Amino acid sequence: FVYHGWGKITNPGGGAMMGLSSTVWLVVGLLEAGGGLLVLAGGFLPDLVTRIGGVMLVIPMLGAISMVHWGRWSFVPSETHPMGGMEFQVTLLLLALFFALVGNTVGSAARE
């Protein structure tokens, strides 16, 4: 997420190929990069940091699935879906939802 978000931040005109304004493209990049950094930092910081990062990642994943990958399940590219289907993106969406709902508290009772 951090890598793809940074690519959007440093190339604000990249969204034109998808019909997105540079402002929307930048916001998506900030959500991806910021959310990814918060999830990573959440392992060392309070639970709320991980949850906020997860919420930030849910938003661009819903957009990616609905705008690019919807209509095909398999991640293998095809003529109708040159970027592949939504299989991998749904997995990332579920991971982001997990972090948003559960945070970094999994197994914390066992560590105490």
pLDDT one-digit tens code per residue, 39-61:
999 888 888 999 999 999 999 99
The three-state DSSP-derived secondary structure of the chain is CHHHHHHHHHCHHHHHHHCCCHHHHHHHHHHHHHHHHHHHHCCCCCHHHHHHHHHHHHHHHHHHHHHHHCCCCCCCCCCCCCCCCCHHHHHHHHHHHHHHHHCCCCCHHHHC
pTM comes to 0.80
Model confidence over 66-79: pLDDT tens digits? 887 677 666 666 67
Task: Spell out the domain ranges in the chain.
Answer: 2-105
